[in-house]
Amino acid sequence: MSGEVLVSARGVEVHFPTGGRGFRTAQAGVLRAVDGVDLDIYRGETLGLVGESGCGKSTLGNALLRLVPTTGGSIAFDGTDITGLQGRRIKELRRRAGMVFQDPFASLDPRRTVAQTVSEPLEVHGLRKGRDKAARVAELLELVGLDANVAGRYPHEFSGGQRQRVGIARALAGEPDFLVCDEAIASLDVSVQAQVLNLLRRLQRQLGLTLLFISHDLSAVRHISDRIAVMYLGRVVEIGPAEAVGTDPQMPYTQALLSAVPLPHPKLERERKRVVLTGDVPSPAAVPSGCRFRTRCPYAFEPCDDVDPALQPVGAPGQQAACHLHGVVGTPATTPDGVTATP
Partner 1 sequence: MTGAPVPPPDAPVAGQGDAKGTSPGPTALRPARPRWRETLGLLARNPTAAVASLVLVGIVLMAIFDETLAPQGPSEVSVQDRLQSPSWAHPFGTDDLGRDILSRVILGAGVSLRVGFLAVGIALVIGTLIGLLAGFYGRWVDDVLMRVMDMLFAFPAVLLAIAVLAVRGPGSGNTALAIGIVYIPIFARVTRASVLGVREEVYVRASRSVGASDFRLLTRHVLPNAAPPIIVQTSISLAFAVLAEAALSFLGLGTQPPNPSWGLMLAEGRGFIDIAWWLAFFPGMAIFLTVLCFNLLGDGLRDVLDPRQRTLMAGGGR
Partner 2 sequence: MSAPVLEVEDLRVRLRTPRGPADVVNGLSYSVGAGETVAVVGESGSGKSVSVLALLGLLPQGVATVTGRALLQGEDLLTMQPERLRQVRGPGAGMVFQDPMTSLNPVLTIGRQLVEGIRAHTDLDKAAARRRAADLLGEVGLPDPAGTLDRYPHELSGGMRQRVIIAIALSNSPALLIADEATTALDVTVQAQIIDLVEGLQAERGMGVVWITHDLGVVAGIADRVLVMYGGRCVEDGTVDDVLENPSHPYTRGLLGALPDLAQPAVDGVVPDLATVPGVPPAPTDLPKGCVFWPRCPVRGDARCETEQPPLAIIGSSDVALPHRAATWCTESPARAGSTAVSGTFGTGSPGTSGIESPRGRLR
Q: Which of 22, 84, 152, 264 binds partner 2 (CB under 8 A)?
A: 264
Q: Nearest 10 degrees: CA dihedral of 80, 85, 90, 96?
A: 10
Cβ of residue 155: shortest distance to partner 1, in angstroms?
Answer: 9
Q: List, in sequence order, every beta strand (DSSP E) within 253-324.
A: 307-309, 312-313, 320-321
Q: Is 24 in the site for partner 2 (CB under 8 A)?
A: no
Cβ of residue 306: shortest distance to partner 2, in angstroms?
Answer: 15
> DSSP readout, 112-172?
S-HHHHHHHHHHHTT---HHHHHHHHHHHHHHTT--GGGTT--GGGS-HHHHHHHHHHHHH
Binding to partner 2 (CB under 8 A): which residues in 207-226?
Answer: 216-220, 222-224
Nearer to partner 2, 121 or 290 (CB): 290
> DSSP readout, 162-186?
HHHHHHHHHHHTT--SEEEEESTTT
Q: Is 203 in the site for partner 2 (CB under 8 A)?
A: no
Cβ of residue 152: shortest distance to partner 2, in angstroms?
Answer: 21
314, 248 contact by CB (below 8 A): no
Nearer to partner 2, 77 or 158 (CB): 158
37, 11 contact by CB (below 8 A): yes
Q: Is 26 in the site for partner 2 (CB under 8 A)?
A: no
* One-letter identity of residue 252: P
Kind of pairing, strands 46-50 and 210-215?
parallel
Binding mask 305-334 for partner 2 (x = CB under 8 A): ---------xx-------x-xx--------
Nearer to partner 1, 29 or 145 (CB): 145
- Among partner 1, partner 2, none, the one that 233 touches (CB under a kind-dependent 5 to 8 A) is none
* One-letter identity of residue 127: L
Cβ of residue 198: shortest distance to partner 2, in angstroms?
Answer: 5
Please provide residue 278's backbone torsions phi and psi, each rounded to the nearest 5 degrees: -100, 155
- Among partner 1, partner 2, none, the one that 163 touches (CB under a kind-dependent 5 to 8 A) is partner 1
Binding mask 173-192 for partner 2 (x = CB under 8 A): ----------------xxxx
Please provide residue 8's backbone torsions phi and psi, each rounded to the nearest 5 degrees: -135, 120
Q: How many CB atoms lie under 10 A from the CB of residue 293?
A: 26
- Among partner 1, partner 2, none, the one that 271 touches (CB under a kind-dependent 5 to 8 A) is partner 2
- Among partner 1, partner 2, none, the one that 124 touches (CB under a kind-dependent 5 to 8 A) is partner 1
Nearer to partner 2, 85 or 325 (CB): 325
Q: Is 342 in the site for partner 2 (CB under 8 A)?
A: no
Counting Cα atoms < 13 Å in the Cβ hemisphere of 309 gives: 29
The footprint of partner 2 (CB under 8 A) covers 52-53, 159, 161, 189-195, 197-198, 201, 216-220, 222-224, 242-243, 246-250, 252, 255-269, 271-278, 280-281, 299-301, 314-315, 323, 325-326
